[in-house]
């Protein structure tokens, strides 16, 4: 259990136990589940009779979008997809009892030799069905706006640049980078917004073999969903910072998705490349932020892959201005950074 999970477990024990007891799970054994980059905690409750469920603990002060989780879960289920059923909720304190999908994440299955092609084609089917059946004006969530995309990609220069240079970027250099990214993002084709879950990758997908069609993909961790460009979730799935994907499977999955939705294929491909620059740049900076600010160094193992993905996206024609900027100011983007101690970086980045 991580440091945040331990604190979460200890600080809210009484509230948690009252909620569990009020809904008939007093006798359940409680096991903390591994934490991710968020500040939510999950616990598996197991009753003596074999019944299980998950307890979501989303402290209100942590801004974990508890209400959005409920809205999106209902929308996904109404679209014939599989989000965990919500059995009980306490909105004031941020607790929910939700359906336990078990242990078969796509990640675990892939690590155990399960067919890659089958899982990725199932995943893109789920994305296509979500985009087809959930209205583009779906309420209750915000829009993944240009301003948010810009704010996120600035993490590259704010957190990754100092790793190489031992100092923050100057205000002028930061403004130059921001101007380049602003121009690139404004070239996103005006495709109709859809619900995007934003963290659509194999860690957040589970195989539910007792269900049919796209509902066999259990969907998790979607509280940050927003209305945005339809290419975003496909990009998140196929160019995952956590694992490599066979290019043949990647191409087939992309073609299968594109065949199911009614968008101009050139516009989709351009969106995919632009959002790839944004996402890989954001994640490159975010993994450093998780290490330095949140004391979560475990994400550093993914850095070689995500910087390689960013380098690949820099080769797209639309990325030419950013490629030129990186060649001048961050030419080592796909190399191992200098061995700077975390304590040195904390002084640079947290003061």
**Domain coordinates in residue numbering, the chain:** 3-98, 106-349
CB atoms within 10 A of CB 151: 12
How many CA atoms does the CB half-sphere of 34 hold within 13 Å? 7
Render pLDDT for 211-268 as a digit per residue (tens, 0 to 9): 999 999 999 999 999 999 999 999 999 999 999 999 999 999 999 999 999 899 999 9
- pLDDT of residue 344 exceeding 50, the answer is yes
| Mode of pairing for the β-strands spanning 41-46 and 95-98 | unpaired
Confidence category of residue 36, pLDDT binned at 50, 70, 90: low
Please state the φ and ψ torsions of residue 107, each to the nearest 5 degrees: -60, -50
> Residue 63 CA to chain centroid, in angstroms?
16
What pLDDT sits at residue 332?
80
Confidence category of residue 197, pLDDT binned at 50, 70, 90: very high
What pLDDT sits at residue 1?
43
Mean pLDDT (the chain) is 93
Render pLDDT for 154-178 as a digit per residue (tens, 0 to 9): 999 999 999 999 999 999 999 999 9
Q: What is the mean pLDDT of residues 267-294?
A: 96
Q: CA–CA separation, 33 vs 143, rounded Å?
A: 31
Q: What percent of the chain has pLDDT over 90?
A: 85
What pLDDT sits at residue 6?
53
What pLDDT sits at residue 2?
47
Report which of residues 340 and 246 the model is more confident about: 246
Closest CA to 35 of 9, 61, 69, 66: 9
pTM, two decimal places: 0.91
What pLDDT sits at residue 8?
54
Query: Can you state the angle between helices 13-22 and 3-11, rounded to 10 degrees?
Result: 70
- pLDDT of residue 5 exceeding 60, the answer is no
What pLDDT sits at residue 338?
81
Q: What is the mean pLDDT of residues 188-203?
A: 95
Render pLDDT for 90-147 as a digit per residue (tens, 0 to 9): 999 999 999 999 999 999 999 999 999 999 999 999 999 999 999 988 888 999 999 9
Q: CA–CA separation, 198 vs 178, rounded Å?
A: 22
CATH of 106-349, one of 3.50.30.30, 3.40.640.10, 3.90.1200.10, 3.40.50.300: 3.90.1200.10
CATH number of 3-98: 3.30.200.20
Confidence category of residue 200, pLDDT binned at 50, 70, 90: very high
Q: What is the mean pLDDT of residues 191-199?
A: 95
């Amino acid at each position: 259990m991580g440091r945040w999970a331990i604190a979460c477990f200890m600080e809210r024990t009484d509230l948690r136990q009252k909620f569990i007891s009020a809904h008939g799970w007093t006798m359940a054994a409680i096991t903390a589940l591994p934490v991710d980059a968020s500040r939510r905690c999950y616990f598996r409750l197991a009753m003596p009779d074999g019944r299980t469920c998950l307890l979501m603990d989303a402290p209100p002060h942590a801004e974990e979008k508890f209400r959005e989780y409920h809205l999106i879960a209902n929308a996904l289920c109404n679209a014939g997809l599989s989000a965990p059923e919500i059995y009980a909720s306490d909105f004031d304190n941020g607790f929910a009892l939700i359906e336990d999908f078990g242990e078969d994440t796509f990640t675990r299955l892939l690590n155990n030799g399960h067919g890659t092609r089958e899982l990725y084609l199932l995943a893109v089917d789920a994305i296509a069905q979500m985009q087809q059946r959930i209205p583009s004006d779906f309420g209750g969530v915000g829009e993944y706006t240009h301003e948010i995309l810009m704010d996120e990609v600035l993490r590259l220069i704010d957190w990754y640049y100092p790793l190489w240079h031992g100092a923050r970027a100057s205000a002028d250099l930061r403004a130059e980078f921001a101007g380049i990214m602003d121009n690139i993002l404004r070239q996103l084709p005006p495709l109709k917004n859809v619900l995007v879950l934003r963290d659509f990758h194999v860690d957040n997908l589970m195989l539910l073999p007792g269900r049919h069609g796209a509902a066999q993909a259990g969907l998790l961790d979607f509280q940050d969903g927003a209305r945005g460009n339809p290419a975003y979730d496909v990009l998140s799935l196929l160019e995952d910072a956590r694992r490599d994907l066979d290019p043949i499977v990647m191409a087939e999955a992309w073609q299968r998705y594109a065949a199911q939705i009614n968008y101009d294929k050139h516009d989709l491909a351009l969106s995919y490349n632009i959002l790839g620059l944004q996402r890989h740049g954001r994640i490159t900076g975010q993994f450093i932020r998780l290490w330095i600010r949140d004391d979560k160094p475990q994400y550093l193992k993914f850095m070689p892959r995500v910087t390689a993905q960013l380098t690949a996206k820099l080769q797209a024609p639309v990325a030419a201005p950013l490629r030129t900027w990186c060649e001048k100011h961050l030419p080592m983007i796909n190399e191992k950074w200098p061995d700077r101690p975390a304590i040195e970086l904390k002084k640079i980045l947290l003061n």
